[in-house]
């Protein structure tokens, strides 16, 4: 099955809001052929803690949806005859040696993360939540993947840190960055999942959220 494009994309009969400023997630939805607008949740993610990564990413995705919905006049989306509007939110963490890793906050933390991945492997745990603003229906799902790395040279790690993009992604993990990609040995699961939004799961949840 081709999950690269949405089955609804060619005849999109709904409006879509992406609840994220992530460039990777925008690119993934564009690759799926979907039209959407962007809204950000602007929540304090660090204030929401769960020890289990599955629980953490799901509660964060739901919190992002709730925060965005709190700023909307939901009655506008529920008027009879309106196209349904879906809100898609998601979250992802990296798990390395049993420890949850979110976005690094300092250069030293980013360096520690990336050195730990060198010659080893990490898991990603992601969530996708789709809320139908017209009906109130909400669906969510988890997705997991693993990334195996060759040894990553110290100068590559320093270049990634100096560039700064590692601070904007969970665990500082950049799968398809030109500096990182040559040192990726294997991905078990889908690369779009590692990058923050599984196309297959997004397709399914969008379909299910539109069905009565």
Q: Judge residue 80's burial from the number of C-beta atoms within 10 Å of its C-beta, 0-12 exposed, 13-18 middle, 19 or more buried.
A: exposed
Neighbouring residues of 132: CB distance < 8 A, sequence distance ≥ 6: 84, 85, 86, 138, 209, 210
Which residues of the chain register pLDDT less than 50? 1-3
Q: Which fold has domain 15-210?
A: Maf protein (3.90.950)
pLDDT in tens, 111-147: 999 999 999 999 999 999 999 999 999 999 999 999 9
The DSSP secondary structure of 22-89, one letter per residue, reads -HHHHHHHHHTT---EE------GGG---SSHHHHHHHHHHHHHHHHHHTS-HHHHSSTTPPPEEEEE
Say what the pLDDT of residue 7 is. Answer: 53
CA distance 120 to 205: 33
Residue ranges covered by each domain of the chain: 15-210
Of 2, 55, 76, 91, the catalytic one is 91
Strand partners, 122: 147
Rg (CA), the chain: 18
CA distance 29 to 202: 9
Say what the pLDDT of residue 200 is. Answer: 95
Say what the pLDDT of residue 151 is. Answer: 97
CA distance 109 to 135: 43
Please say if 66 is a catalytic residue: no
* Beta-strand pair 99-101/85-96: antiparallel
Say what the pLDDT of residue 9 is. Answer: 57
């Amino acid at each position: 099955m081709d999950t690269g494009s949405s089955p609804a994309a060619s005849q999109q009969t709904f409006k879509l809001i992406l609840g994220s400023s992530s460039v990777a997630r925008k690119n993934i939805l564009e690759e799926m052929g979907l039209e959407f607008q962007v809204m950000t949740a602007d929540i304090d993610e660090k204030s929401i803690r769960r020890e289990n990564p599955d629980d953490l990413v799901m509660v964060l995705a739901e919190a992002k949806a709730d925060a965005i919905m709190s700023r909307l006049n939901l009655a506008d989306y529920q008027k009879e005859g309106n196209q349904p509007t879906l809100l898609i939110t998601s979250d992802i963490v990296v798990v390395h040696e049993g420890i949850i890793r979110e976005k690094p906050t300092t250069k030293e933390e980013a360096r520690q993360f990336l050195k730990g991945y060198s010659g080893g492997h990490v898991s990603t745990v992601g969530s996708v939540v789709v809320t139908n603003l017209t009906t109130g229906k909400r669906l969510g799902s988890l997705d997991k993947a693993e990334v195996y790395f060759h040894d990553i040279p110290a100068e590559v790690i320093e270049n990634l840190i100096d560039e700064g993009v590692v601070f904007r992604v969970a665990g500082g993990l950049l799968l398809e960055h030109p500096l990182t990609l040559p040192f990726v040995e294997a991905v078990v699961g889908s690369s779009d999942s590692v990058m923050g939004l599984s196309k297959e799961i997004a397709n399914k949840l969008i379909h299910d959220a539109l069905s009565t």
